[in-house]
Amino acid sequence: MRQVRRGPAAPQYGAGVPQQPSYANGGYDDAYDSGYNTGQVYGGPGGHGPDGTPGPGQRPAPNWRRRIKWTAITLVTVLTVTSVATYFWADSKLRREVDLSKVIDRPQSGSGTNYLIVGSDSREGMTKADEKKLHTGAAEGKRTDSMMILHVGDNGDTLVSLPRDSNVEIPSYKGSTSGKVYPATGRQEKLNAAYAEDGPTLLVRTIEYNTGLHIDHYVEIGFQGFANIVDAVGGVQIDIDKGFKDKWSGADFKAGKQTLNGRQALAFVRTRHAFAASDLQRTKNQQKFLAALAHEVATPATVLNPFKFYPTMGAGLDSLIVDKDMSLWNLASMFWAMKSVNGGDGTSMNMPISGSVGGNLVWDKTKVKTLVTELNNDQKVTVAGN
């Protein structure tokens, strides 16, 4: 019988038999890890493959440095575009209507910058209801209710009020519309008569002739515009030393700190019949209020709040009439100077008065000469006004 050769018998468990895999850990040996027991599809940590790429269904870790960089770039871009757009918007609203090149025989420019700030009784844009509400009356044409020279320099800013009843000589001048030169006749008039006769350019010519001070920029605002600015900024707080009433302006104020709206503010700066000093006291009140208004406009609560900043800026620019060379930078410099005067860093005063003639206030020529010299040289003002 053919012999069948058999292989060795299967070894029995026991000595010499290899250890079998343990199923205590889900059927896998501790030395072998497929990656599934830790939630890893690939061998890399955190569900990432060996090359660090995220596995299926996994989000990459945020790159904070990149996010911060692009956020900063976006913010800078938005601020730049907004600033440029705001500049061109504001610049387009300036009413550059006064041509100072028409003023003849001008004094030489000194150091610093001189602004002539004029408050007119213009009723432009006002309805009959507005005139009644603001107690302005309905007179035709325009006259000056206030005139101030603001000197902006390196040795403190100075605000000088020129009473409308100041006695001045009307010099030779070139007509703003006719272009005709009118010779001087030695005629003595109230200062506000110069504006009534031929507007801003003759007013500038008359002030320069009677002071020797060069006017660099001209700014004018009417009744309605003034009230609108005050209302747009949310009112202006002011401390009234002594209460007063005036039926002509509609003023009715008690002493103490209070916030004035546009109508009240207009009454405050226009009142003169209630004071023994008449126009001199009115100019002081005008200085006080305008400085407070500039301070309010320049506060962070206004500048950083677009819902307050743009209405205020729009109301102001719509109602201002300026010279043809006025820039937004010049206008901003003027407002900051007004704020500094209010903050005690500058000087506010009336033009020095020596007496009166025919009801007109006569300037003190000696003091005026000293004042003009100090302003032209941008020196600290030492002259005291009335």
19 domain residue, yes or no: no
249 domain residue, yes or no: yes
3-state secondary structure (DSSP) of residue 127: coil
88 domain residue, yes or no: no
Q: Structural domain tally of the chain?
A: 1
345, amino acid identity: D
The string of pLDDT tens digits covering residues 359-378 is 899 999 999 999 999 999 99
365 domain residue, yes or no: yes
What lies within 8 Å, CB to CB, of 151 at 6+ separation is 112, 113, 114, 115, 157, 158, 159, 160, 375
Beta bridge partners of 245: 252
57 domain residue, yes or no: no
115 domain residue, yes or no: yes
Q: How many CA atoms lie within 13 A of 200 on its CB side?
A: 24
| 90-115 burial code (b ≥16 CB/10 A, e <16) | beeebeeebebebbeeeeeebebbbb
| 290-308 burial code (b ≥16 CB/10 A, e <16) | bbbbbbbbbeeebeeeeeb
6 domain residue, yes or no: no
CATH assignment of the domain containing 193: 3.40.630.190
Residue 92 and residue 52: Cα distance in Å, rounded?
57
Q: How confident is the model at residue 43 (pLDDT cuts 50, 70, 90)?
A: very low
The string of pLDDT tens digits covering residues 192-245 is 999 999 999 999 999 999 999 999 999 998 877 888 889 988 999 999 999 999
23 domain residue, yes or no: no
Range with lowest mean pLDDT among 53-62, 154-163, 283-292, 335-344: 53-62
Domain around 260: 96-377
Helix (H) or strand (E) holding 118: strand 113-120
> Cα dist. 202→5, 141, 211, 222 in Å?
138, 16, 14, 18
252, amino acid identity: D
**Under 8 Å between Cβ of 144 and 119:** yes
User: Does residue 178 register a pLDDT over 70?
Assistant: yes
Concatenate the DSSP letters of all residues of 185-201 into one string: ---EEEHHHHHHHHHHH
49, amino acid identity: G
